[in-house]
Structure 1
Amino acid sequence: MKILAKSVAVAAIAMSMTGVAEARIQAIGDATADGSELLLNVVNYTAQNSYTLDLGVTIAQFLANPSQPLSFALNDNNFQSFASAYTAGDNVTWGVSGGHGLLNEETDLPIFGFYTTSVTNAPAAIDDNAADISNTMGKWNGLVSAIQTQDANANNLSTFKTVGQLGYTAVYGNDFQTALPFVAQGQLGAALAFVHEKVNAEDGLFDTGELEVFAGSWKLDLTGNTGSLTYTTSTVPLPGAVWMFGAALMGMLGVGRRKVIAA
């Protein structure tokens, strides 16, 4: 495979940041093997406001155990401002996303790409190639640059923005300004799939997009002024035949035991 030929062009996603005294989420374009941190983005299109939270989990940390359940209690001042402006029936959508922009070595191939929630488990259309995936990640980086400035990655900040303010994320829509060819953000209370857009580099051209669907799903619930964001992996139910076999086996064991006692 020819990897290094296009690695520089694909890997470089630059993001300009200004300002101090406010932490920022680690960006996709940062030169780190960890990738970005995951970001929660919630938009109330009716009330015209938005809430974001740096979840503090990098792509590398997530991939270390993609079946591990995650739970986040949302009760900071910014979320309370968002919740206070919410009225039942408002058009609210939300999603979790991040990315890994490095593609310098062959070992980068499995993790390079865009990670996002999806309304459908396996979208019919995905980004076609590395360039399109990088374009989507560039939109994500633009969103991040508008809500958090450079300081310490360890600080996990939230934002509450209203229409007209820099960082009001409704301008990115539910598909990152159409850069993503499927709907990433869903309704409150809905369980959203989590997918990874990556490339097939068998031909060395990075011209074929692939989709990895994780076993877990994200869910955001709102109760009063508190939110609950969870990532869980569903347990696979046992087929009915297994339960029938188990019951029959227990019955046989019971009969055998009665015969021993009678003897």
Structure 2
Amino acid sequence: MAGAGAANASIRVSGTTDATRELYFQAYDSVSKLTYSLDLGITLADLIANVASETYTVNRDLSSDANWTALTSVASYNPSNVQYVLAVGRSSKLFITQKEGNTLPAYDAIATAAGVATVISNHAQEINVGLVNDPTLNVSKLVSDTDPAGTGQWATGLGNLPDDIWGTTGGSAAAVAFGQKADFWYAQSTNVTKAAGQWLLSGNTLEYKVFPVSQVPLPGAVWMFGAGLMGMLRATRRKWAVAE
């Protein structure tokens, strides 16, 4: 099932500058054992420049992507079985998603930024297997766990597994459930910064932005308690007024 051919472009992982490393997105269905990968064409340099920006946004409609459609069209497909991650790394620098509210480091095996950045870079090269080296294209890939090892699978590979960073499904804080927001962390050596925006995979859309804070409605019992308390206060005030 591994995608290949001139229509597919590899993730940029060559060179020694932040402008030559690209962010990749992966989604994994733990039932169908399919891994969807997408080269977003966003460089590490882009992300560093916008780490604190509240206006920097990304919005990708996946509905016209044949590989995404293939993933979501399998008979067993259920979003509740899907998790996703976004990552880019070079030297001792990296960006990686985390479950909302978690902090870094929360890696399964690699405990340093340099180690994780290396694993991310190596995994990107595994995703690139069978893809054309063309930085002008940003296309996707779909592989199965049963495809040749080391071709970009979420849960199987040649020692540079996503497992080393975010674990198998349900295994790590960096694997985020479909429909849930992901914090985006920037680590440079021992310095760790949470980006202003968050990622969200929902429906057929992947987006990054500063999401509005959701207003949590108060339960009806709270409103009833408040109304009752106000009534008691009014009654007490009337009682004291009569007494006077």
TM-score with structure 2 length normalisation? 0.68
Matches within 5 A, 1:2-151: 21=6, 22-27=8-13, 30-65=15-50, 66-67=53-54, 68-74=56-62, 75-85=64-74, 87-88=77-78, 90-101=80-91, 113-123=93-103, 125-126=105-106, 132-148=112-128, 149=131, 151=133
Give the Å deviation of 1:31.
1.9
* Matched AA of 1:160: L
Does structure 1 conserve the Cα–Cα contact (< 8 Å) formed by 2:105 and 2:111?
Answer: no
* Matched AA of 2:135: N
- Which 5+ residue runs of structure 1 have no aligned equivalent? 1-18, 102-111, 200-208, 238-263
Q: CA offsets per residue over residues 153-209 of structure 1, 9 Å max, x none?
A: 12112001112213222237xx9323469521211100010001222xxxxxxxxx2
Give the Å deviation of 1:34.
1.4
Q: Distance between the aligned counterparts of 2:5 and 2:133, measured in 1?
A: 6
Q: Distance between the aligned counterparts of 2:139 and 2:79, measured in 1?
A: 28
Q: Which residue of 1 aligns with 2:236?
A: none
SS in 2 for 1:177: helix
Give the Å deviation of 1:90.
4.5
* Of 207, 219, 233, the match for 1:230: 207
Sequence identity (%): 20
After superposition, the CA RMSD in angstroms is 2.9
From the superposition, tell whether residues 99 and 142 of structure 1 become closer, same or farther in structure 2 (CA, over 3 Å).
closer
Q: Distance between the aligned counterparts of 2:166 and 2:187, measured in 1?
A: 10
From the superposition, tell whether residues 139 and 180 of structure 1 become closer, same or farther in structure 2 (CA, over 3 Å).
same
Give the Å deviation of 1:217.
0.6
Q: Distance between the aligned counterparts of 1:81 and 1:197, measured in 2?
A: 34
Number of residue pairs the alignment of both structures matches: 191
Q: Distance between the aligned counterparts of 2:65 and 2:49, measured in 1?
A: 28
Q: Which residue of 2 aligns with 1:152?
A: 134
TM-score with structure 1 length normalisation? 0.64
From the superposition, tell whether residues 60 and 133 of structure 1 become closer, same or farther in structure 2 (CA, over 3 Å).
same
Q: Which residue of 1 aligns with 2:234?
A: none
Give the Å deviation of 1:20.
8.5
Matches within 5 A, 1:149-228: 149=131, 151-165=133-147, 166-171=151-156, 176-179=162-165, 183-199=173-189, 209-222=190-203, 227-228=204-205
Q: Distance between the aligned counterparts of 1:59 and 1:161, measured in 2?
A: 25
- Which 5+ residue runs of structure 2 have no aligned equivalent? 215-244
Q: Distance between the aligned counterparts of 1:44 and 1:178, measured in 2?
A: 18
